[in-house]
Amino acid sequence: MNAQSNDIATYNFAYLDEQTKRMIRRAILKGIAIPGYQVPFASREMPMPYGWGTGGVQVTASIIGPDDVLKVIDQGADDTTNAVSIRAFFKKVAKVAVTTETAKASIIQTRHRIPEHPLNAGQVLVFQVPIPEPLRFLEPRETETRKMHALEEYGLMHVKLYEDIAKHGRIATTYAYPVKVEGRYVTDPSPTPKFDNPKMHRSPALQLFGAGREKRIYAVPPFTDVVSLDFEDHPFEVQTFDQPCALCGAENVYLDEVILDDHGGHMFVCSDTDHCEKRRADGHHGHLAPETHLASEETEPAE
Amino acid sequence: MYVAVKGGEAAIANAHRLLADRRRGDRSVPALRLDQIVEQLALGVDRVMSEGSLYDRELAALAIAQARGDMIEAIFLVRAYRTTLPRFGYTNPVDTGAMQIERRISATYKDLPGGQVLGPTFDYTHRLLDPELAAGAEVETPAQRPAEPEAMPRVSAILAHEGLIEADGEMPLDHVPGDITREPLQFPMARDIRLQALSRGDEGFLLALGYSTQRGYARNHPFVGEVRIGEVELELDVPELPFAVPLGSIRVTECQMVNQFKGSAKAPPQFTRGYGLVFGQSERKAMAMALCDRALRAGELGEDVVAAAQDEEFVISHSDNVQATGFVEHLKLPHYVDFQAELGLVRRMRAEYEARENEDKAEEKREAAE
Amino acid sequence: MDIATQSIDGGFAEPVFNAQTVFRAIMDAMARPGTVQNLPQLARPPAPLSATAGAVALSLCDNDTPVWLDPPLQAEASVKAWLGFHTGAPLANTPADAHFALIANPKEMAALDGFAQGTQEYPDRSTTLILLVDDLASGPSLLLEGPGIERTSMIAPPGMPRHFVEQCKQNNQRFPRGVDIILAAPGSLSCLPRTTRIKLMEA
């Protein structure tokens, strides 16, 4: 091989070779057929580091076609650096159209959030997952946790959650809050805030989860029961915020705290930037909104 | 007035431009050519090939240059490239017994068929910084002699004649070698799979684990039966042809550790083996790998698992530096959504705590007043 | 046409994009059991393998996936040659070794529990059955419920295996073990994953 030539390395559509895509596609189908079960797959090295969304990227690369419209968010925002980077990657290797608008996307890859705008039946939500095993922090050994799933032996998880209640008066898990899928598998929703858990329940969209470093793929088909673990005397509840979004005035959305100065001044704004921009474009105002509307980004054409 | 930060794309582009500038450095200094890296930083190239699992010096050199000399970054670049390559076939196992040897030493025998060959080693150099090298002094051509006509059998084969060492890597006849790049890992794993993982494992991690066994964390009495470095032939079976097709040769380092073993309920007293094999010239890695391999055979040989180096799931799950660096470094990514969730919880618990404290204080005051 | 020509012709014209198109149809069908996903003719395998079933095999099978063929397919050397040439998939010796099974005659097929069911630890190690059917509407109506279905869904493939509804019920009861089914009809496909609960609709 001649290292000086320009075509020293060429890549397939969507980066992955076809054999790899087939392997991942087979895993996705098994994941859909066994909701919440973590399907082992021979995860590949990707051109971004493990831990930076390689599982999600492999899933997206295996399902994406030239007609798809892709949205990528990190922390709910389209403009966070890693979201920008992954979106640019797919623009480059798959030449697909990208968008920031939730409603216009056919595939949404996400890290840590589910969009506020309700998803519809044609959409696929791809989660980037760091540690797919919800029992991992209770039992570090894969050989043990696999047995626990096989036997549907989830007592340890309930004990852990109940210890929280005994110690803190409540379940002190605020994100990556474990769920039970279709009454069978205890599953990790990825490190989304528990605020987003109810959105997974009977969602019309297909939800796919990719954990690259840990080599697992799992899925929640549309209209599938996703129940956050809880107790009769301590029912599951989501985070609430005392104030609406300072920019668009939205309530019942997940907010980020933005530090305004070094004297403790802060404000709360929508974590979902697309949702916030849409609302402001529609004329909604929060108490700190700038006068001018931010025009929402149009779908960028394929390159 | 608050306006959300935009412009991630421009910031990333500019960061990459700055990176390219810093990588090139002072433009008045000639740029490194890949052949210079291949020739003069050869052991770095070997490490990148070995842990990158791709035998291609030029690509490894490119990766080193592109990574500014950051070895794990270079390994990562090579891995991310190799993973996209189509698989044409599987070569026959290499025969290290037939190696064209450049270096071969045994610590268990003073002399042996084929002799001890020091080869290009740092051993016995005095680690004194060399100003002449800095000045670019001419280097002598090496002394050479005709190759010995005598074969250089592997030391393990010599020991095996006496029946004092376990047989070499017994696998069931119908065992199909696994491939960690094509199948997900599953624990417990067969030794062939484990050796593949160790061969691409991080040199530093394996070195530390191997060292820990010497210091008593699963001590297993190792002797270097043999370390050999040289070229081995690669051959591929093609269904249409009656003979194996030679593809060329690669340089590898092989280490056979011979470990004293008192016997257990499962195995008689004998010498046991630890095995290391890596691309290129890397004795440290091959030896560390052999120590870890032996330690990880604890279950198979009926030894108690008492230390980290013997714990297969622990060792193999954490030996890959591309995985490790990715997950450690991903902590740089924004986590503010989850942090917000934790902040909300801590604030709430703190408020409750203070309310309780205040109540207690008020109670104390009342009691004092009574 | 001789077998050698037949085995080379009829693959995907655009392997990368055709495979993606077929996979997305299967994925959507698997995620929404009972929905009918239309598929253009992308493969031309030798009979009795159908275009749809052939396309499914091309998009999912390769060297890593042993494939089992039912007797009508097994009897056709050209089918084996075509699959071998285009996918490289080895033939499974028994249904229980198969990752995929291609069934040209579902009516006569072996019982569902004769195929790989996966294990309790690894329920994914099961056979995916690709059943060739004439259409998805002219048979007895099957009422479907389960994940992927908002309330109920309906499908009516003709020529299904004997005691199909009862067999599917047992397949449900083995969950998380069990087999998943792809129904390959001319120009369309539909899926019945192991989670789908099936009832025969009263006429």
Q: Please say if A210 is a catalytic residue.
A: no
Q: What is the pLDDT of residues B132-173, one digit of tens each?
A: 999 989 999 999 888 777 778 888 888 887 778 888 777 788
- What tokens were used for C14? 């655009």
What is the structure's pLDDT at C1? 57
**How far is Cα of residue C145 from the mean position of the Cα atoms in its chain?**
20
Measure the CA–CA gap between C118 and A186, rounded to whole angstroms.
19
What is the structure's pLDDT at B146? 82
Split chain B (370 residues) into runs of 10 and give each run's mean pLDDT: 61 94 97 97 98 97 97 96 85 92 91 88 92 92 83 82 79 86 89 96 98 92 94 90 92 94 80 95 97 95 93 96 95 90 89 89 83
SS3 content of chain A, % helix, strand, coil (to 5): 25, 20, 55
Measure the CA–CA gap between B69 and B257, rounded to whole angstroms.
32
Q: Which residues of A225-250 are buried (b: 16+ CB within 10 A; e: fewer)?
A: bbebbeeeeeebebbebeebbbbbbb
Q: Please say if A276 is a catalytic residue.
A: yes
Question: For residue A135, what is the DSSP state?
Answer: T
Say yes or no for a CB contact (<8 Å) between B181 and A84: no
- % chain C with pLDDT above 70: 98
Which residue is closest to A12 within chain B, CA to CA? Answer: B84
Q: Does the pLDDT of residue C137 top 70, yes or no?
A: yes
- What tokens were used for A25? 């596609």
Measure the CA–CA gap between A194 and A184, rounded to whole angstroms.
20
* Residue among A29, A121, A223 whose CB faces C27 most closely: A29
CA–CA distances in Å: residue C98 to residues A32, A196, B124, C92, C95:
20, 39, 59, 5, 5
Q: ipTM, 2 decimals?
A: 0.97
Per the CB < 8 A criterion, the answer to whether B300 and B203 are in contact is no
Tell which residue, A111, A114, A106, has the closest CA to residue A128.
Answer: A111
Say yes or no for a CB contact (<8 Å) between B84 and A15: yes
Return per-residue pLDDT of chain A as tens, 303 residues.
Answer: 333 345 556 778 999 999 999 999 999 999 999 999 999 999 998 999 998 999 999 999 999 999 999 999 999 999 888 999 999 999 989 999 999 999 999 999 999 999 999 999 999 999 999 999 999 989 999 999 999 999 999 999 999 999 989 888 888 899 999 999 999 999 999 999 999 999 999 999 999 999 999 999 999 999 999 999 999 999 999 999 999 999 999 999 999 999 888 888 889 999 999 999 999 999 999 988 876 444 444 444 544
Q: Please say if A36 is a catalytic residue.
A: yes
- What tokens were used for C198? 């099936």
Q: Residues of A with CB below 8 A from B53's CB?
A: none
Say yes or no for a CB contact (<8 Å) between B337 and A169: no
Q: Please say if A55 is a catalytic residue.
A: no
Say yes or no for a CB contact (<8 Å) between C122 and A40: yes
Q: Number of A to C CB contacts under 8 A, please give it.
A: 108
Quick one: B192 exposed, middle or buried, by C-beta within 10 A (0-12, 13-18, 19+)?
middle
Catalytic residue (choose from A56, A76, A248, A286) = A248
Q: What is the pLDDT of residues C158-176, one digit of tens each?
A: 999 999 999 999 999 999 9
On whether any CB of chain A is under 8 Å from the CB of C134, the answer is no
Q: Residue C203's pLDDT band (boundaries 50, 70, 90)?
A: low
Per the CB < 8 A criterion, the answer to whether A256 and A265 are in contact is no
Residue ranges of alpha helices (H) inside chain C are 3-8, 15-31, 51-60, 71-74, 77-87, 164-173
Tell me what the mean pLDDT of segment C181-199 comes to. Answer: 98
On whether any CB of chain A is under 8 Å from the CB of B187, the answer is yes
Token pair 């037939």 in the structure block, residue: B98
Measure the CA–CA gap between B370 and B365, rounded to whole angstroms.
9
What is the structure's pLDDT at A293? 44
What is the structure's pLDDT at C197? 98
What is the structure's pLDDT at B7? 67
Task: Please measure the distance between the N-terminal and C-terminal CA atoms of chain C and give it in whole angstroms.
Answer: 46
Measure the CA–CA gap between C88 and A211, rounded to whole angstroms.
28
User: What's the whole-number average pLDDT of chain B?
Assistant: 91
Per the CB < 8 A criterion, the answer to whether C165 and C193 are in contact is no
The identity of residue B72, as a single letter, is I
Which residue is closest to A225 within chain C, CA to CA? Answer: C147
Measure the CA–CA gap between B31 and B16, rounded to whole angstroms.
19
Catalytic residue (choose from A245, A264, A265, A283) = A245
- What tokens were used for C58? 């091309």
Which residue is closest to B62 within chain A, CA to CA? Answer: A3
Bridge partners of A97? A69
